A and B are shown apart, each in its own frame.
Chain A
Amino acid sequence: MVEKVLSCKKKQKIAVASAQDDNTISAIYRAVNEGFAEGILVGDLSSINETCRKKDIDPSRFSIIGTESDTEAARLAVHLAKTGEADIIMKGLVGTDIFLRAVIDKEKGLLIPGAALAYVGAVEIPSYHKLLFLTDLAVIPFPDMNQKIQMAEYSLEIARTFGIEKPKIALVGASEKVSPHFPNTADYAQMCKMAAEGKFGDCIMDGPLDLFLACDKHSPEIKGVRTPVNGDADILLFPSLESSNPFYKSLMLFAGGEIAGLIRGTTKPVIVMSRSESEKSKYYCIAMSCLMAQN
């Protein structure tokens, strides 16, 4: 992923709201040094300078804008993106709710009218043979049909940007059977029909599929299930945050996974990372957003 970004010519300007956070500043600094990003740090001036000093980072490498509060920082970062002075915005040491409220503000925000916000993550897992895209990991607790369709579109767009021409997208359920006990499975069946009619462009969509059928190439044969995804999924679309959240966290904590991700449904890429994420994860997010921003 990083290689792809490094080959980009144009630098992307990233505005960080409440940037006074160790890992965030270090990650931006790395991207700046590698030449694919410029940083605009918005937030508490003295804390930003102090964080830079602590990390031995030269603050003059960034543009820094002082603000009085987290809310103001979030609004200003959004404003910079809205007016074209920033290409990407990123959450620093501010609560996700405050940050997203600024993003979705009807007049001053970045929401595409009528669009659902959804988080698409890309995980690298030692036990999987390629990058795996996941959605939604952060925004919609129980997506309805319309939101699932948008989640599929966002993740497909991102997978294609990563060079996967015909992404395989698995709609994840507890089993491969459409069942009245699982209302999501009816949505899935309809979405597959739409995919067959070309609604999602060039892709292979199937669901419901359990995780084995989606990701384990031996599973379809063992279970005797024929699926075009065939244990080789590029994208997993989840029925709820309740299932996607422990899933990606289990990858990070137990399976040595590394994750990057961004929010779609906005006019510019938006990076929201938990405050506890590592510098490396934040750096990957920046790289991924830069890749998306220039497309």
Chain B
Amino acid sequence: MVLKSLSDLRKIVAGGPMRKLVLAAAQDQHSLGAVIRAWKDNIIEPILIGDKEGIQNICASNNYDIEGLRIIHEPDMDMAVEMSVKMVSNKQADVLMKGKIGTSTLLKHVLNKEWGLRTGSLLSHFALFEVDTYHKVIAVTDVAMNIAPTLKDKISIINNSVSCLIKLGYVMPKVAVLGAVEMVNESMEATLDAALLSKMNQRDQIKNCIIDGPLAFDNAVSLESAQHKGIRSEVAGDTDLLLMPDIEVGNVLYKSLVFFAKAKVAAVILGARVPIVLTSRSDSEQAKYDSILLSAAASK
């Protein structure tokens, strides 16, 4: 199955058992609304850990009905995060979400050697975009986590993303490795990595997907552009996953899609034992909700 829109994620979630989402330092205006909406829609079962009074105040001032909602009181933010992560590592929760704390605090606990959520894989950011000018949802990685991934990092990033896509129902997703040009150019390292990744895929060193690159953005998403340039590729024009060369490129593209192309976006951190939802203040309410939906779908 291929996602045509982000709302298709609902169908995936609807089939399985209710996922438990733990919101770490839950006294957070910016994430509570989306969490409660997802709860009301039967997408997740939330566990809120944080300052109970703070949580109740926010809910009261926004008229959220929280009858029956599980809240664990822990006023110390650092302790609240630790407790949240431990709940996940004890398999009492399926998704971790960041509340009113910095990303670095959350990650410090996630990466804790004793009771953290490491899997041996790199953590990476994975985003799904729905733009009405593309014929399906397009996944983009990594636009927010890894600054300048090495070849080895890129392999991990692809593997993380492909496993996620498979959980969402994809079979052999098409991966385009993005370059400024579609030719291998020895002065642009991204194009060299792209060639290596493609070859490693052909040799089954990177499995369960079809990788091609370097592809320039237009070749990756438009068959017409690819044909005009005479590019023969199974991926060109039909990309499911677009791999960014680095965060500078990813950040620009992500913001271009959201701001200029009015894309809907859902994002999750992959590579830990469970999906992690990290939203920021500038994300829309809908994006936060869709990110929770994605993480629930990806937590199989």
* Residues in A lying within 8 Å of B, measured CB to CB: 125, 127-128, 141, 172-175, 181-182, 184, 210-212, 215-216, 219, 222-223, 238-247, 249-257, 275-276
Complex contact B251–A174 (CB within 8 A): yes
- Is B147 an interface residue, CB under 8 A from the partner? yes
Given contacts A174-B248, A246-B217, 16 further A-B contacts (CB under 8 A): A125-B260, A127-B261, A184-B248, A210-B255, A223-B282, A239-B248, A242-B179, A242-B249, A247-B253, A250-B253, A253-B133, A254-B134, A255-B133, A255-B256, A255-B261, A255-B262
Number of A-B contacts (CB under 8 A): 121
Complex contact A250–B180 (CB within 8 A): no
Cα A212 to Cα B148 in complex, Å, equals 21
Complex contact B221–A242 (CB within 8 A): no
Complex contact A211–B259 (CB within 8 A): yes
Cα A223 to Cα B283 in complex, Å, equals 11
Cα A181 to Cα B185 in complex, Å, equals 24
Contact count band on B: 35 or more
**Residues 105 to 161 of chain B near chain A (Cβ within 8 Å):** 131, 133-134, 147-148
* Residues in B lying within 8 Å of A, measured CB to CB: 131, 133-134, 147-148, 178-181, 185, 187-188, 190, 216-218, 221-222, 224-225, 228-229, 245-253, 255-257, 259-263, 281-282
State the Cβ distance, B273 to closest chain A Cβ, in Å.
27
Complex contact A241–B259 (CB within 8 A): no
Cα A241 to Cα B247 in complex, Å, equals 14
Cα A255 to Cα B133 in complex, Å, equals 8
Complex contact A250–B188 (CB within 8 A): no
Cα A211 to Cα B248 in complex, Å, equals 11
Complex contact B180–A257 (CB within 8 A): no
Cα A141 to Cα B245 in complex, Å, equals 13
State the Cβ distance, A58 to closest chain B Cβ, in Å.
28
Complex contact A212–B261 (CB within 8 A): no
Q: In the A-B complex, list the 5 residue pairs whose CB atoms are closest, starting with the nearest.
A: A211-B255, A246-B217, A254-B261, A276-B228, A174-B251
Give chain B residues whose Cβ lies under 8 Å from the Cβ of A128.
Answer: 260
State the Cβ distance, B256 to closest chain A Cβ, in Å.
5
Give chain A residues whose Cβ lies under 8 Å from the Cβ of B188.
Answer: 141, 241-242
Chain A: CB-nearest residue to B224 = A276
Give chain B residues whose Cβ lies under 8 Å from the Cβ of A222.
Answer: 281-282
Given the known interface contacts A242-B249, A243-B252, the answer about A251 and B180 at a Cβ–Cβ threshold of 8 Å is no
Given the known interface contacts A141-B187, A240-B180, the answer about A246 and B261 at a Cβ–Cβ threshold of 8 Å is no
Chain B: CB-nearest residue to A211 = B255
Complex contact A141–B256 (CB within 8 A): no
Give chain B residues whose Cβ lies under 8 Å from the Cβ of A211.
Answer: 251-252, 255-256, 259
Give chain B residues whose Cβ lies under 8 Å from the Cβ of A249.
Answer: 216-218
Complex contact A253–B259 (CB within 8 A): no
Complex contact A246–B147 (CB within 8 A): no
Complex contact B187–A219 (CB within 8 A): no
27 CB < 8 A contacts A-B: A127-B261, A127-B262, A141-B180, A141-B185, A172-B252, A174-B250, A174-B251, A182-B248, A210-B252, A212-B259, A222-B281, A240-B180, A241-B181, A242-B178, A246-B216, A246-B249, A246-B252, A246-B256, A247-B256, A253-B134, A253-B221, A254-B131, A254-B134, A254-B221, A255-B256, A257-B260, A276-B218
State the Cβ distance, B251 to closest chain A Cβ, in Å.
4
State the Cβ distance, A257 to closest chain B Cβ, in Å.
7
Complex contact B228–A255 (CB within 8 A): no
State the Cβ distance, B284 to closest chain A Cβ, in Å.
11
Complex contact A247–B225 (CB within 8 A): no
Complex contact A243–B249 (CB within 8 A): yes
Given the known interface contacts A242-B246, A276-B229, the answer about A250 and B260 at a Cβ–Cβ threshold of 8 Å is yes
Chain B: CB-nearest residue to A241 = B180
